Structure formats: C-alpha cells, structure tokens
Amino acid sequence: MSTADPPLRTFVAYVEDQPGVLNRIASLFRRRNFNIVSLNVGRTQTPGVSRMTVVVEADDDKARRIEANLYKLVNVLSVEDITRSPNIVRDLALIKVFAPPEKRSEVLQLCQVFRARAVDVGPDTLVVEITGTQDKIIGLLTILEPFGVLEMVQSGTVAMTRGSISDAARAIRDTSNRGIAAA
Amino acid sequence: MAAPSTDPSKPLKEARPDKGLRTLTGAQILWDALEEQGVEVVFGYPGGAIMPAYDALPGSSIRHVLVRHEQGAAHMADGYARASGRVGVAVATSGPGATNLVTGIANAMMDSIPIVCITGQVPSTLIGSDAFQETDFTGVTLPITKHNLLVTRAQDIMPAIKQAFYIASSGRPGPVVVDITKDAQNQSCEYQYDPSPVRLPGYRPDRQPLPEELKEAVEMIQSAKRPIIFCGHGIVRANATSLLLEFVHKTNIPVALTLLGLGGFPARHERSLGMMGMHGEAWVNTAIQEADLIIALGMRFDDRVTGNLKTYAPNAKKIHVELDPAEINKNVKVDLPLLGDVREILRQLVPHVERAACEEWIAHIEALKGDSAVRDIKDLPDSGQLFAAHVIHDLWRYTEGRALIVTDVGQHQMWEAQYYKHDHPRKLLTSGGLGTMGFALPAAMGARLACPDDEIWVVAGDGGFQMTAAELATCAQENIKVNIAVINNGFLGMVRQWQQFFYGGRYVATPIKSPDYVLLAQAHGLKGLRVTQRSEVRAAVEAARANAETTIVDFRVEQEDSVYPMVPAGADLHNMIRRPKPEIKSAPHNPIFETGDDE
C-alpha cells in the first residue's frame, strides 16, 4: 500500500437488508456531494445483513465525514474505512472481444498472461472473465482493444482486509451474538 | 434561572394500565400507540388515504387541531416541540397532503426539531400504480428526515410509531415520517402495546468524550488569554442553561450566542455578549476574530455565523462540543472535538475549571462596544417615526422580557434577535437553518398548546405573515390565543435591503401590498389594532394581552429601514456593513443610527 494520500477511499459498510437502504446510501452521497466511483452490495453469511463496498474520491477530512454521515443512517450497522489497512481489492469484468477463428488462439494466449479465462466462445467472439484490481482489468482491456472489444461489464469493487476479522465485521458479529441484529 | 417549561426526561404521565391482548384495526392501534408515547395533541388535515385513522380518532384522548394547510400542521408540531422539548405530531393524507408538509419537515430537519409526521398512503396493492393522490413520500422525504418508514401492515404500526418517537427525540433530534397505507389502517390484528425499549442495532445516538479529551479541554481553557464561549441551540435542546451558567460563573468567560442559542444563556447576564454572525453586533464578531480560544457548545458553524471560512477566527483554537460526529470539521477545522451530550460534558467540565485570567480581554471587549448605547436607535427621542427596533424594544419592555416570542424570517427576525433580550431558554422560537417564511403564526399556535400559561407573541413581517395567514381561521375555530405583531413595512424587507446594498437599489418584486389587518382579524372573529406612532405601542401591546382572542397589531413601520450591522454573505466576519454615521440621521428616509462601534 502506498502511504501517500490516496485520492480514492474504500469503505466497507454493513447494512440492514431492507427495501430502500441502497437508495438511502446513494441519496446521502448525492446530497453531500460525495462522488461515488464504485458501489457494490451483496448478501453476507448473516441473514438480513448486506455488505457494501464503496469507493469514493475523498481526502482524509472528507473520508471522516463520509463515515460519520453513513453512521447517521439508521439502517447502517457498521462502517470501516479500509483504505490504509492491508486489503484485498477485486473487480470482476466480463469482456466480449472480437475473435474470429484465426485470432482466437492469440487472444487466449494474452488472456493467460492476465490469468483471465474464456467463459464463452461464439463463431467470431470470446467472452473473457477477469478478476483483479482495476489496474489489471485496464491492462487486459488495453491489450484486447486492437482485436475489437464489443461489450464489457464490471461488477464494482469488492474489498476485504487481510488477516483477522475487520472492525466492521466484528461489530456485526457482536451485535448478532447479542441477538439484536434480528430485531 | 427558571427551569425549562418541561423536563423531557420525565415521563409525561404515569404508565397506562395494560389493556391486554385485543383485536384492533390499524387505525385504532395508531392512536393507542401515540397515546402510549404521551401524545396529547396532533395537528392535521384529513383526506382519502388517512380517513380510516380519522374515523378512529374519537375513540382516543388525543386532541386534533384542524389546520388550514398541512405546512401549518408541520410548523405547529415544530413549535410545540421547540416550546416543550417533547415530540410534536402532524397528520396528513397522501399525495398533496403529504407534500404540503415538506417545507415544515425540512425546517425541522435543519433546526434539529423532534417531530413525527404521520401520513396516509394509498393501499399497498396500488403502490407504484400512480393511483389517485399517490406520492412516493418516503422517497420525497428521504433527504429531509432523520429517518422515515413505510408501513403496509397493521401489526407493524405500533413498532413503527415507537421507533419514530425514539429516533426523533434521541441523539441529535429531527423529523421522522411514518407513511401508513390505507389497507394497513383498515386491517385488524391482535394487539398489545409492547413497552420494551426500541432496539435498533445500527443506531447509536449516545456518545461520550474520553477522560483525556476532557482533561485537554480543561488545560486549553485554563491557558487561554482571550477565550469566548459559543452558546448554540444544543444548550437549549439539552436543557443545559443552568450548567452553562455555573461554567461561566466559575470561569468568567464571555458568551456569544447563535440565533437559535438565544435564551440559552441570559441576555442580561454581565458576561453575555449577544448574537454573533451576519447580523451580530460589531463587538461580538470582532471579539470572535480576536479570540485565542473558542469553546463552541452545541452549534454547527453555519455560514451565517462564520462568514468567510478562510479568515474566520484565525487566532483561535477551537473546542467543539457536539452530539453529531458528522458536524466535526464540516465547516470549521477544530482542534479538539468533544463528542457527546453538551449537558453531560458541561457537568463533567464544571468541577475542573477555574477562573480564567481574562480581565484584560473582557475590558477590551467592553471597549469595543464604544458609545453604542447612547446612539442606539431605541434610546433616541421620539421623532414621530416608528421603527421596527422601537416596536421590538417596547414589546420587550412591556412584556418584562418574559414573553415567548415566535418570529418569522427576515428583517423583523434579526431586529427581534437584537432588541428582545431573552433571559430564558425556549422563549424564542425561530426558523434558523431553513429560514422558512410563514413559520411564525403556526409555530406560535403549536407553542400555545405546549405552554398554555405563557404570553405568546408572533413577530412577523408583512410578507411572511401572509404566507400562512390562513391559520387565523384555525385560531378562531380552536380558540387558540396568540398575539401577533405584524412588522409592516410594505416590502419584503430583507430582500429589499439586499437589493439596496448589492443590486443597485433595484427593488424588483419586493414592494408588497397587505390586506387591512384590522379587517382581516375581524373577518375571522378576532381582534385587530393599528399602530403608526411609537407613543401608541404600549397601549396596543396591553390591549392585545387583555383580549381573550388572538389579536393582530399592525405596526406600520418605516418602509426602507435596514438591519445593521451586516456581514455580507461570504465576506470576512470582521468586514461588516456598519450603521451609517450619525450625522445623516436627519435625512428623511434614513432611519439608521449606530448601535455597534464605529470604524
């Protein structure tokens, strides 16, 4: 990890899995003029609890205010800014590239270098799945562009700290142990 | 110091007898759950989607006040909450009824006022179909509420009401909307009130500073040479006035107040400096710019308080006592945030602070006041002209400074803040953050129901008063008695003032005609009076107080008077537009004299 102030901050937030919660969070970012770079939300191992990864452009002050404002939402259970913790950050991308039979093996070889894999083959196309950081995905994309990228989709960033359980996750585990999360 | 009118920590009434498990409709559950929260009055307006609830209202002990516009209902709930410290309740139907509440909800949000708004919603089966009078009200109010809830089943109504009251009144208070579908009101279910505390895993309203932070605060306070205390709305909301008084008695540090903090520290206390900010007196703002320590208690460094942030209080270290972590370093970078309830933090600080060595500093601030007192407009001999400052000053004098004043928004609001010296908390209710014209009359009506024994005066301009004057009919129907001082200058005065100062004197859309307020009052079966001379003020104030009905006094004041001093929006706090020099006082249309120090 770089020690310089990163322009991008990664937050992990545990939220109640209820209708409108994503809207509340998106509305908060819009209202406070915080620019979302990436937002991912999905279920966790705890029923009724979703986990979000939000990547935002923010300096230290703004990052603190984002965290404080997220905590003001009643449905937000815990928040952690994991930017400076050792962490694993991943995006998943599917890239549909123009690959007629004569180009196919060349494309596949290049994909191997990036540890991407082909998940679909059409008469003139390949769909490639790649998992990694944004840098890695952009690297592959740059290499594939000369062949003709027909479509592309990305998942949004998901992130997790390395090592033992993170503060945000511990907060959830502790509340569910007390039987409150289900209330 | 008089105790606040109500201590919110005490339950309103004894726990009600447990009525056991029974079958009720959602509508009946709603009123029962509201009674359980201690609700005695709601302000509302019926309509299609809330009709089942209204149909069940006669079975409840709760009084309903029928407003003339739902904005009035929200402001009444707001005024009730501000005056009492309890939660105010407004009720409206779906669609237009709900959207009419929006201004009042946003107003309560900006000033951290605990209100609960209950709205009807179209039946759950029709949601999303653009049904008659359907509005996505939880969507609409998402950014202007502390929280909101959509309830679609009868059995969810009681937990939603419990949550709403808990969230509205705990931590930093704010408005909560409970949107209840018509079918949920109509359904029946087994019901028993659950008195157990509300449990919300993601909601942590209580915070406490660390002991070492408190120690650091004490050290900063003891080593300051030019300290100043800011008394904000948090002091009023937390009922912390007596602790602040103790703190000041021990430390001798002078106190400046925000608009919403007025009354949180007695105006007549020798350490009170008065209001800070855009229309604060020059000596107050100058003292802030020269201070070496700011102890900010329950305030949020609003732009009307700070002016240009780059030049704001450049020499001062800042201690920020605040309940809401999102306010820390939002506008002003602070050196020491103390997160928590301001009353609790003062309680912990008071035993450790000692008299600050700031005699020189106090003498310096006294000197900054200059000869303002002798030139103050209120003390000048009667020239035959009636100035708003006269009206407010005389109102203060004849009500012995004890009235509960509810102001609207504009010039009169600032004159009130300058000339009515509030010595007690919750005796000035005003729309600070949102600056909502039309707030005063309905908020005063809400305050009347919270404080039946107070003398209540609306102080409103002729513009804002006309925005919600329809509520006069509510006063008449519900026998709600308030006194109304319309500071009538024939202009949207504050906008006119800005046009005079910043837009080349082009008075675009600011001259405003009023109805005959005496006739308007009479048309409602109320009383009306007109005052054009200062010598008539006293008799009018006394007549209004004596009347059993709501009484309007139409004060015809100087038309083109301006509020001084003034820090233009975004300017440095020390760069005030001062009152013009006294030699021009004889100019016929310039009623402007010093009260601040001169340049």
Q: Please state the ipTM of this predicted complex.
A: 0.87
Paired residues of B317 in beta bridges: B293
CB-based contacts of B470, cutoff 8 Å, min separation 6: B68, B69, B72
Closest chain A residue by Cα to residue B197: A183
Length of chain B, in residues: 599
Count of helix runs (H) and strand runs (E) in chain A: 5, 9
Contact across the interface for B202 and A27, Cβ inside 8 Å: no
Residue A159 confidence (pLDDT): 95
Residue A4 confidence (pLDDT): 55
Q: Which of A67, A74, A175 to mutate: most B Cβ within 10 Å?
A: A74
Could you confirm whether domain A88-158 is CATH 3.30.70.1150? yes
Of B399, B450, B440, the closest CA to residue B4 belongs to B450
Cβ atoms within 10 Å, residue B125: 12
Q: Give the residue numbers in A contacting B (CB under 8 Å), as ranges.
A: 15-16, 20, 23-24, 27, 31, 61, 64-65, 68-69, 71-78, 175, 180-181, 183
Residue type, B153: R
Q: Which of B167, B325, B333 lies nearest to residue A71, judging by beta carbons?
A: B325
Q: Report how far apart the first and last C-alpha atoms of chain A are (Å, whole number).
A: 39
Residue B589 confidence (pLDDT): 40
Length of chain A, in residues: 183
pTM given for the model: 0.92
Stretches in chain A below the pLDDT threshold 50: 1-2, 177-183
pLDDT truncated to tens, each residue of chain B (599 aa)?
344 444 444 445 556 777 889 999 999 999 999 999 999 999 999 999 999 999 999 999 999 999 999 999 999 999 999 999 999 999 999 999 999 999 999 999 999 999 999 999 999 999 999 999 999 999 999 999 999 999 999 999 999 999 999 999 999 999 999 999 999 999 999 999 999 999 999 998 888 999 999 999 999 999 999 999 999 999 999 999 999 999 999 999 999 999 999 999 999 999 999 999 999 988 999 999 999 999 999 999 999 999 999 999 999 999 999 999 999 999 999 999 999 999 999 999 999 999 998 899 999 999 988 766 555 666 666 777 899 999 999 999 999 999 999 999 999 999 999 999 999 999 999 999 999 999 999 999 999 999 999 999 999 999 999 999 999 999 999 999 999 999 999 999 999 999 999 999 999 999 999 999 999 999 999 999 999 999 999 999 999 999 999 999 999 999 999 999 899 999 999 888 887 754 434 434 433 433 433 33
Contact across the interface for B200 and A175, Cβ inside 8 Å: no
* CA distances, B286 to each of B274, B283, B356 (Å): 12, 5, 20
Residue A5 confidence (pLDDT): 52
Residue B199 at interface with chain A, using a CB cutoff of 8 Å: yes
Could you give the CA distance from residue A171 to residue B382 in angstroms, rounded to a whole number? 68
Name which CATH class applies to A8-85: alpha beta
Tokens for B387?
Answer: 């100035």
Residue B370 confidence (pLDDT): 74
β-strands B41-44, B88-92 pairing: parallel
Residue A1 confidence (pLDDT): 45
Instruction: Domain ranges for chain A, please list them.
Output: 8-85, 88-158
Contact across the interface for A27 and B142, Cβ inside 8 Å: yes
Contact across the interface for A64 and B330, Cβ inside 8 Å: no
* CA distances, B30 to each of B37, B154, B433 (Å): 11, 9, 31
- The reply to whether domains A8-85 and A88-158 share a CATH topology is yes
* CA distances, A149 to each of A94, A105, A120, A134, A156 (Å): 11, 16, 14, 17, 19
Cβ atoms within 10 Å, residue B358: 21
Residue type, B599: E
Active site members of B? 70, 132-133, 182, 494
Closest chain B residue by Cα to residue A62: B330
Residue B383 confidence (pLDDT): 75
Chain A residues near residue B333 by CB distance under 8 angstroms:
61
Contact across the interface for A15 and B202, Cβ inside 8 Å: yes
Residue type, B503: Y
Residue B112 at interface with chain A, using a CB cutoff of 8 Å: no
Chain B residues near residue A73 by CB distance under 8 angstroms:
202
Contact across the interface for A74 and B138, Cβ inside 8 Å: no
- Smallest CA–CA separation between A26 and chain B, in Å? 11
Domains of chain B (ranges, CATH numbers): 22-191 (3.40.50.970), 211-368 (3.40.50.1220), 386-557 (3.40.50.970)
